[in-house]
Amino acid sequence: MAGIYFHIPFCKQACHYCDFHFSTSLKHIDDLLRAMRAELALQAHYLGGEPIETIYFGGGTPSLLAAGDIQRFIDEVAGHFDIQPGAEVTIEANPDDLTSGKVRDLRGTSINRFSIGIQSFFEEDLRWMNRAHNASEAQEAIQRVQDAGYTRITADLIYGYPLLADSKWQYNIGRLLDFNVPHISAYSMTVEPKTALAAFIRKGKQPSMEEGQSATQFEFLMDALAAAGYIHYEISNFALPSHYAHHNSNYWKGVPYLGIGPSAHSFDGQTRQWNVRNNAGYIRALQSGLLPCEKEVLSTQDRLNEYTMTALRTVWGLDLGYVAEKFGREYRATLDAGLQPFVANEEVSLEGGVATLTRKGKLLADYIAAELFVD
């Protein structure tokens, strides 16, 4: 099995915290979409004939595209790959794009899952983030998608920023529970170096983020969603039973995927490649019949460290038996020894040869993974 990811690098405006590749100009959108279709054809053999289980439209803001453009990409995939019956086909969408007409148009496509970028239900928070939608649109978007008959829905929230009092955070979580959204992704606000938010903080126009606030709100999130029956199956992701995100789950499990579009990454199990982070350069390369990417052959240590980092974040955990089988017994022994201090400190649970993070360990996920990396 494998997945395909389309990076749609366009947005109406730039969120202050965002470090993804995008452009707010749609001037060359038609050339870019043609180039992406050309890349898909050139990469038809990248996945070695593996059936396609998931297709994911991310960005950027894929919901800016017309429904016809979205379906054309899906049809192009079907022309080059074997799409499995019942494949998960997800589109990330901003609430302001999900008008009644847009949802109706998307109903005529193969899209069967929505990832809606809510972030907050508070007007002042959305303005602080420089989001394109308002609080009313955040609620209306979920309702419209549900009214259209979609049941596979996830919504994003952000926590750990100065405006978000604990009471507001409780409200944001509560609204998603009121809507019975079956999958929730929640991310701590991070300050990426080249973003507007980073510049505001450097200039003293905004306060820095507080780790204590983020930790407290993360713990409340875990408690609230566990009480509502959600499974905390990855550090930032919670789902009701049978509502896991298959595309993201496959990524964490090391399943191969092909990324199409500027800045998109691909992974075939042994190598990783990434496309140029420039729309004009991407278009020029593909107009010349060239793939605009760099490639890296992953060493055994690279692949082990990636597995450690992703597996430890999930409910399935870091399987030491798998490590011995795929990477060698010496690496299992190394990881086993490295895990012991975290087990002793009740940050990692080690049962049946599988290491998973405890509640305490989830607050230190990146640190623990980094400490376990092998050179």
pLDDT, averaged per 10 consecutive residues of the chain (375 residues), comes to 97 96 93 98 97 97 98 98 98 98 98 98 98 97 98 98 98 98 98 96 97 98 98 98 97 96 97 97 98 97 97 98 97 97 98 97 97 94
Residue 88, strand partner residues: 54
What local confidence, expressed as pLDDT, does residue 352 receive? 96
Q: For each of the domains in the chain, give its residue range(s) and CATH number, in order of start.
A: 2-252 (3.20.20.70), 300-372 (1.10.10.920)
Tokens of 144: 């419209």
What local confidence, expressed as pLDDT, does residue 69 receive? 98
What local confidence, expressed as pLDDT, does residue 375 receive? 85
Tell me the whole-structure pTM to 2 decimals. 0.97
What local confidence, expressed as pLDDT, does residue 92 receive? 98
Task: State whether residue 22 is helix, strand or coil.
Answer: coil
Give burial (CB, 10 Å; 0-12/13-18/19+) of 63: buried
Helices (H), the chain: 29-42, 67-80, 100-107, 123-129, 135-147, 166-178, 196-202, 211-227, 246-252, 279-287, 300-311, 320-327, 329-344, 359-362, 365-372
Could you tell me the sign of the dihedral formed by the alpha carbons of 41, 42, 48, 54, in that order?
negative
